[in-house]
Each structure stands twice: as structure tokens, then as C-alpha cells.
Amino acid sequence: MKILRMLKTIVTARGLEILLLDKEVATFNNISLGIVTAIKKELSQDKIWMVVDNLEQKNIIPIEQIACVAKKVILLGDLPVFNLTSNRDLRISSG
């Protein structure tokens, strides 16, 4: 069963790459957080994140925070903006 779960995560991550790459990410208040530059996955934990680049500062956001996707990726309204840029746990290295 673990292999099936990992396969599901791989397929989901690939679909999200097609859907989300190069889209702008914004809050419900239309505050821009940057552009989706990559999709990261952790197969052992069944987790997927989108990497958002805002002027060379990269942050990761769990896909569970997505409210809707159209021309932009809109995040849920209860996500504080400062957590994306000030929380060290959400940052990734630029390498």
C-alpha cells in the first residue's frame, strides 16, 4: 500500500507542475506572494509543496493552502502573509 501512496503522490505532483508552474500566487486580499517556480514532494510523508519565488527569495507553501486556481493561485484567507517570509521553517535554499 505504501508503494501505491507514493505513486499517487508522484502523479499528483506532476499534475500540479503542469497546472501551477509560472503562475502568480496571491492571498485572498490580492497581495502577490510571487511566482510558482517548482513543485517539491516528500514521498515518505505524502506531502507536496509549491516553491514560490519573490525577487529571488524562495518560500515553500503546502498545497493544502490553495483555495483556487485560475489565472492566479489564490491561497486560503486564513494564511498570514508574514509567515511566508519570516518563518525560517518555510524557507528553502536557493541552490
CATH number at residue 84: 2.30.30.240
Helix (H/G/I), strand (E/B), else coil: 15 = helix
Q: Give me 10's grid cell.
A: 508522484
Please give the tally of structural domains in the chain.
1
Q: How many CA atoms lie within 13 Å of 33's alpha carbon, on the beta-carbon side?
A: 28
Domain contains 95 = no
Percentage of the chain surpassing pLDDT 70?
80
The predicted structure's pLDDT at residue 78: 62
pLDDT, mean of residues 13-42: 93
- Give the C-alpha separation, 4 to 37, whole Å: 27
Domain contains 58 = yes
The answer on pLDDT for 68 being more than 90 is: yes
- Strand pairing class (24-26; 32-42): antiparallel
Give the rounded distance of the alpha carbon of 45 from its chain centre.
16
Domain contains 81 = yes
